[in-house]
Amino acid sequence: MACVRKKKILRRINPLWKTKSGFLLEKLRNFRNMVFFRNMTSDIKKLSGSEVEVSIEVSAEEFEKYYKQSFEEASKNFSMPGFRPGKVPPEILKENISSEAVLKKTAEHTIQKTYFPVLREKKIEAIGRPEIFITKIAKGNSFCFKVKTAVLPEITLPDYKKIVLDTREKEEFTVKEDASEEEKGKMQQKKRMKILEAISDATEIDIPDIMIKAEKEKMLGELKASIENMGMKWEDYLAQIEKAEEELKKEWQKDAERRIRYGLILRELANKENIQASEEEVDADVEKILKQLSAAGSNASDIDTDYLKSYTYGMLRNEKVFQFLEIC
């Protein structure tokens, strides 16, 4: 007991305690990473359009470990007349559980366990939905797969402060004193979009196709939700405008690219100027949104709070970036 108390006191009075403790934890993490990555090899190949191809080979020993885990999971869910759950003999399990199904589950499990650690280790900021290709899979062998994914494009911002000043000189953003709040809001939005458009025109960004596809799907989802909120069926709407979903997506090409460009520029401006939304601000806004959704009859359990927090953070951060651009 005295020893524990002494350690607690040391933590308070000795600033080196935390340093030493942190150093040991870092060494432990490094050791675990070394052991983890020793069981696999990875290679990164840069492709055009801000895309990369990640090739990963997991050792036969490591893949066998994941196979056993997948087989155990399948065994727990397996039932057979005459046996209690979880009490079916191993030889019967092997005869009745599909090895192909276990192999498929093992592949999914292995990809989940290895792909993201490799991204972190290689410091790759992957975005969008990756395309996964299994190139080698067999029990008792190493497991190989490739992942094609988009990465955040590198952005070199222009002299945005000068662009803001030039835009102010060229454009007329004055509002009458007796203007309504709605008119003031519209003028502010016009001003912000003009500034962002000017910065975008002076910025080169190589947008990956995966990002454009994902943005079009997002736009499609937004339109569907809007139509359904109006009480109209999506199929009826398409019939009314005499267009298919693919036609709409083709028409949205420029809009999708513009939305992506603006989003990436705002993100880079926030990083450049160290503009962030605090956790307290995010939580307060999320709470308001949840209350509004609850009042509208939405079930709290149906709401993805992690996504809501991420979305709210982005909105608050972007608002702060616009406020910065208005005064810089």
As a whole number of angstroms, the distance between CA 33 and CA 37 comes to 6
Higher pLDDT among residues 65 and 305, named by residue: 65
Residue 285 in any domain: the answer is: yes
What is the pTM for the complete model shown?
Answer: 0.64
Q: Which of 151, 185, 212 is the last residue of a domain?
A: 151
Residue 157 in any domain: the answer is: no
Residue 44 in any domain: the answer is: yes
CA-based max dimension of the chain: 85
Residue 82 has pLDDT above 50, yes or no: yes
**What's the token pair of residue 99?**
């090895």
Residue 312 has pLDDT above 70, yes or no: yes
**What's the token pair of residue 140?**
């008792």
Q: Is 303 exposed, middle or buried (0-12, 13-18, 19+ CB in 10 A)?
A: middle
For residue 202, give the amino acid letter.
Answer: A
Residue 79 in any domain: the answer is: yes
Residue 91 in any domain: the answer is: yes
Residue 37 in any domain: the answer is: yes
pLDDT-derived band at 313, boundaries 50, 70, 90: very high
For 185-244, the pLDDT digits (tens) are 899 999 999 999 999 999 999 888 878 998 999 999 999 999 999 999 999 999 999 999
pLDDT-derived band at 17, boundaries 50, 70, 90: very low
How far out from the chain centre does Cα 73 lie? 28
Contact 41, 56 (CB under 8 A): yes
* Residue-range definition of the domain harbouring residue 121: 20-151
Q: CA nearest 286: which of 266, 267, 270, 300?
A: 300
According to the model, what pLDDT value does residue 18 have? 45
Q: Which of 103, 123, 151 is the last residue of a domain?
A: 151
Mean pLDDT of the chain: 86
How many independent structural domains does the chain possess? 2
Q: CA nearest 118: which of 48, 36, 26?
A: 36
Q: Which of 105, 121, 151 is the last residue of a domain?
A: 151
Here the CATH number for the domain that contains residue 84 is 3.30.70.1050
Q: Which residue has the tokens 């196979």?
A: 67
